[in-house]
């Protein structure tokens, strides 16, 4: 018998999530990001260039996975002659873009399955675990980012949730092996985007608090071995370009002045964008230090932290992700997939009062709806028709205010409008930090209720 949850069975949910993504994926794609992946794959299989060493600014695991999934398209299209077609004004074929997006679509599906299994291990019943897992799988914002836009944050989130699953399972089975599997998963997440390091930091802190120094050493060695494996090609080819990429990312990357930053308002008061960008790393490192000290104190002061270690791991990981959005100078829309993937865990922690979980869920659903609409409005035209030939709706709108000319007076009005919208988003994350804090404190007392 199928398990029902809100009128949707597990199989129906899975089928719906898969079909919607597969229908959308071939006919959509944000040209710039799709072309990054396409160029990396085509140049490799055509034998012209390995862009990993010359023109690749993302972590290396994404490059390796892109080459692997693209190999099937190269075999079908280039070797076997299966035809492809180009919908609307896209510069990438429908079949080609499907294979480029395939890792992200598969990641969405696997996250759904891992969430459901992990929540069950935490004691959540089957119906509720299905409902909470659907908050990710059937989330319109996530579908637009992974299947339509073609961004790879779902891939990083998959490894993050995989690591969480290993940790929860190791706790349930009283096995230490899961800790090292989780470490590998978190490092794989870092191989796509940096977020895996946040969860690894929380795990490292909890092990120190537990005084499990042997395990700390093994986690460090596992992390270093994974890092060496990820960047091994650079050791062979040369690491000069790698250092250039790291400097490029730390200094602000390719984020433009009018990007997604809620710090834009400071521009009107004469604060330099470069100053804002330079403050992020020390501010976030300072916050990590605070979290490190706080978690050590809580672990040694409250027995509930030791009893509910997986729950505290989840809450502090979610806290690090959420604060990142507040401190970061360019929180682009796709980055919020990390938050959406981890949010169901908060809602599954029964020790957190219902009122707190209810407020979290309401704001989470509202955020997902607004962000989905934002992606649709902000990049809908470009994603549907192809941004090479048809500018995005934001670019059309931006042209009314002087385009990219920083001396044009219209730029001021554009930045002011974007600043207001981005500040509202930052306020949302501040409120979520408050709710996460309420969740943490409720676990430190004996009067938490369901």
pLDDT digits (tens, 9 = 90+) for 136-145: 999 999 999 9
Q: How many domains does the chain fold into?
A: 1
Per the DSSP assignment, residues forming a β-bridge with 5 are 8
Residue 167 to residue 178: CA distance in whole angstroms: 6
- What distance lies between CA 371 and its chain's CA centroid? 14
Q: Which two tokens stand for residue 305?
A: 């932290």
Residue 253 to residue 277: CA distance in whole angstroms: 10
Residue 449 lies in a domain: no
Residue 282 to residue 134: CA distance in whole angstroms: 37
Given this model, what pLDDT does residue 75 score?
95
Residue 24 in this model has a pLDDT that exceeds 50: yes
Confidence of residue 194 (pLDDT cuts 50, 70, 90): confident
What count of Cα atoms within 13 Å lies in the side-chain half-sphere of residue 418? Answer: 27
Residue 326 in this model has a pLDDT that exceeds 70: yes
Q: Work out the angle at residue 30's Cα, subtended by the Cα atoms of residues 24 and 36, and round it to the nearest 5 degrees.
A: 120
Residue 22 to residue 36: CA distance in whole angstroms: 21
Among candidate residues 362, 359, 283, 368, the one with its CA nearest the CA of residue 333: 368
Given this model, what pLDDT does residue 220 score?
96
Residue 239 to residue 237: CA distance in whole angstroms: 7
Range(s) of the domain holding residue 152: 4-443
Most confident of 49-63, 77-91, 198-212, 325-339: 198-212
Among candidate residues 325, 309, 290, 32, the one with its CA nearest the CA of residue 195: 325
Given this model, what pLDDT does residue 393 score?
47
Given this model, what pLDDT does residue 258 score?
47
Residue 450 lies in a domain: no
Q: Which of 129-133, 420-424, 436-440 has the lowest mean pLDDT?
A: 420-424
Given this model, what pLDDT does residue 422 score?
84
For residue 53, what is the DSSP state?
Answer: G
Residue 173 lies in a domain: yes
410-434 pLDDT, tens digit each: 566 666 777 788 888 999 999 999 9
Residue 23 lies in a domain: yes
Average pLDDT for residues 182-197, to the nearest whole number? 93
Separation of first and last alpha carbons in the chain: 29
**Non-local CB neighbours of 337 within 8 Å, separated by 6+ positions:** 141, 142, 145, 146, 151, 153, 154, 157
Q: What are phi and psi of 310, to 5 degrees?
A: -60, -40
What count of Cα atoms within 13 Å lies in the side-chain half-sphere of residue 235? Answer: 6
Average pLDDT for residues 64-77, to the nearest whole number? 95
Residue 392 in this model has a pLDDT that exceeds 50: no
Residue 365 to residue 432: CA distance in whole angstroms: 12
**Non-local CB neighbours of 189 within 8 Å, separated by 6+ positions:** 156, 157, 158, 159, 160, 163, 195, 196, 199
For residue 2, what is the DSSP state?
Answer: P
């Amino acid at each position: 018998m199928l398990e029902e949850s809100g009128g949707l069975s597990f199989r129906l949910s899975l089928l719906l999530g898969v079909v919607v993504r597969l229908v959308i994926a071939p006919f959509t794609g944000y040209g710039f990001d799709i072309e990054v992946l396409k160029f990396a794959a085509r140049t490799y299989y055509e034998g012209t260039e390995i862009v990993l060493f010359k023109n690749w600014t993302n972590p290396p695991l994404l490059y390796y996975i892109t080459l692997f999934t693209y190999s099937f398209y190269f075999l079908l299209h280039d070797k076997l002659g299966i035809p492809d077609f180009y919908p609307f004004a896209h510069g990438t074929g429908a079949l080609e873009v499907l294979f480029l997006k395939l890792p992200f679509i598969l990641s969405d599906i696997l996250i759904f399955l891992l969430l459901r299994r992990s929540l069950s291990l935490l004691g959540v019943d089957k119906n509720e675990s299905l409902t909470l897992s659907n908050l990710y799988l059937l989330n319109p914002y996530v579908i637009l980012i992974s299947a339509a836009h073609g961004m790879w944050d779902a891939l990083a989130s998959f490894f993050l949730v995989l690591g969480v699953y290993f940790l929860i399972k190791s706790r349930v089975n009283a096995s230490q092996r899961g800790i090292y599997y989780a470490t590998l998963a978190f490092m794989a997440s870092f191989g796509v985007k940096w977020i895996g390091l946040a969860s690894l930091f929380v795990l490292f802190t909890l092990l120190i608090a537990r005084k499990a120094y042997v395990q700390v050493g093994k986690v460090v060695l596992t992390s270093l071995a994974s890092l060496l494996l990820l960047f091994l090609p650079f050791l062979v080819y040369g690491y000069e370009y790698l250092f250039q990429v790291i400097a490029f990312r730390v200094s602000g990357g390719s984020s433009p002045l009018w990007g997604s930053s809620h710090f834009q308002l400071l521009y009107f008061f004469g604060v330099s964008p470069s100053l804002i960008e330079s403050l992020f790393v020390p501010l976030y490192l300072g916050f990590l230090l605070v979290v490190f000290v706080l978690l050590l104190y809580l672990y040694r002061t409250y027995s509930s932290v030791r009893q509910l270690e997986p729950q505290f791991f989840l809450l502090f990981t979610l806290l690090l992700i959420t604060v990142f959005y507040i401190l970061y100078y360019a929180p682009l829309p796709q980055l919020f997939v990390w938050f959406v993937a981890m949010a169901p865990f908060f809602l599954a922690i029964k020790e957190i009062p219902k009122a707190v979980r209810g407020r979290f869920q309401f704001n989470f659903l509202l955020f997902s709806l607004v962000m989905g609409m934002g992606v649709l409005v902000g990049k809908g035209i470009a994603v549907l028709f192809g941004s090479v030939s048809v500018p995005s709706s934001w670019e059309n709108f931006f042209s009314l205010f002087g385009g990219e000319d920083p001396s044009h007076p219209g730029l001021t009005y554009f930045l002011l409008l974007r600043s207001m919208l981005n500040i509202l988003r930052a306020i949302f994350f501040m409120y979520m930090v408050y709710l996460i804090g309420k969740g943490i404190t409720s676990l430190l007392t004996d009067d938490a209720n369901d």
